[in-house]
Amino acid sequence: MKRSTLLLLLATVILAGLGKAFWPQDTSPQAGYAGLGEQASGFAQAGPGHALAFPEDHGPHPGFRIEWWYLTANLESADGRPFGVQWTLFRQALAPETGNNDEASDSPWQDRQLWMAHAALSTPQGHRFAEKFARGMALPAGQGQAGVMAAPFSAWIDDWSLAAVSADAGLDQLTVRAEADDFAYRLALTAQGPLVRHGEDGFSQKSADGQGSMYYSQPFYQVEGTLRLGDEPIVVSGRAWLDREWSSQLLGATQRGWDWFSLHLAGGAKLMAFRLRGGGSEEGDYLSGSWITPQGQVTALGEGSLRLTPVKTDDVASRELPTTWRVEAPDHGLDVTVSAVHPEQWMGTSFPYWEGMVTLQGSHVGEGYLEMTGY
């Protein structure tokens, strides 16, 4: 559900953060999150029974309000130092597509889509990040400042991109690159397993009232590449996880934020788990997750089969954040302590959140990413 973060991010960042120029400063988290819980009339709605089709679904779904392409990678340099990389492209529709465009003009600027991207590089002690914004443009495919094409797959904003190396590679072989003032990376991703559909064949419910998102992942990437930290090039290798999610109403009206985990376990299994704070039954938290076998088979987890418990908090960016968690999936013999490699992985972007690399101890060892929003 990091995706929800993103949603939030998208909605709020774009509308409030980005648009701070145009808006009175109204950045209380509640107001920010409200955008994601808002009724989305005129937009397509995610729901069960919506069959995913590839490669079409790798591309954008402009009928839905929000969508993202979200990559996180746990990497290691030749000398054993841990690094983390995040690359995310968000799309948000400002208004439903009406089919018959009411704009009299064919101006390329007349488009309802907004794009936002975040790139981050977590180092053993530090964290660097950057963000970009773009508006959609009514131009032939592939020509705008930002956009996504399903096949050959390509997602980009300015010079940041996540793209297939060849026309028939689907999402199996990608190159990701981003460059900011104080860091850059270029990584080659090779999928070692199949795409994974979360929830009910790709419909991932996000609250007890039933709204949710379409959600699939490619958690099996092997990564080789180079980071640049200041002027220092560092050769790295490791694992990456790509999330694809789109929705028109991600959150229940009362949900405040979420904690989201993507974990690579020793032995090849993966765990995706999230907790939406508020919006569960009896106004409790809403829990959901996926247990993914090394072969890519998915078992949905939920209330009763998944427990996420904050263990220790740190003071990060003037906030109390749970940087150590106990994660339990009893049916799969999982009981691990998930700890941030270090707490300073705050994304001080227009809409801020915590996104960083974590390590696992306990029944399983491993590594992964944790995202926390709404604190």
DSSP for 254-304?
T--EEEEEEEEETTS-EEEEEEEES-SGGG--EEEEEEE-TT--EEEEEBT
Residues 42 and 95 sit within 8 Å (Cβ to Cβ): yes
Q: How many angstroms separate the first and last alpha carbons of the chain? A: 15
Window 82-101: contact mask with other proteins (x via CB under 8 A) = ------------xx------
Contact 343, 325 (CB under 8 A): no
Site string for other proteins, 175-214 (x = CB under 8 A): ----x-----------------------------------
Summary count for the chain: helices (H), strands (E): 2, 23
What does the alpha-carbon distance between residue 39 and residue 35 come to, in Å, rounded to a whole number? 9
Site residues (CB under 8 A) for other proteins, limited to 13-72: 14-15, 18-25
Region near other proteins per CB under 8 A, out of 143-151, 226-234, 236-244, 273-281: 143-151
Contact 134, 146 (CB under 8 A): yes
DSSP label at 63? T
Read off the amino acid at residue 21: A
Please, what is the minimum distance in Å from the beta carbon of residue 73 to other proteins? 21
What minimum distance in Å lies between the beta carbon of 165 and other proteins? 18
Sign of the Cα pseudo-torsion (24, 28, 29, 35, in order):
negative
Q: How far apart are CA 268 and CA 311, in angstroms?
A: 26
| Using rule CB under 8 A, residue 114 touches other proteins | yes
Among 27, 45, 145, 359, binds other proteins (CB under 8 A): 145
Identity of the residue, 24 or 49, whose beta carbon is nearer to other proteins in the bound complex = 24
Nearer to other proteins among residue 22 and residue 49 (C-beta): 22
What is the pattern of x (binds other proteins, CB under 8 A) and - over residues 307-346? Answer: ----------------------------------------
Number of residues near other proteins (by CB under 8 A): 31
- Position 108 contacts other proteins (CB under 8 A): yes
Query: CB of 39: closest distance to other proteins in angstroms?
Result: 16
- Which residues form the interface with other proteins (CB under 8 A)? 14-15, 18-25, 94-95, 102-103, 105, 107-110, 112, 114, 133-135, 143-145, 156, 158-159, 179
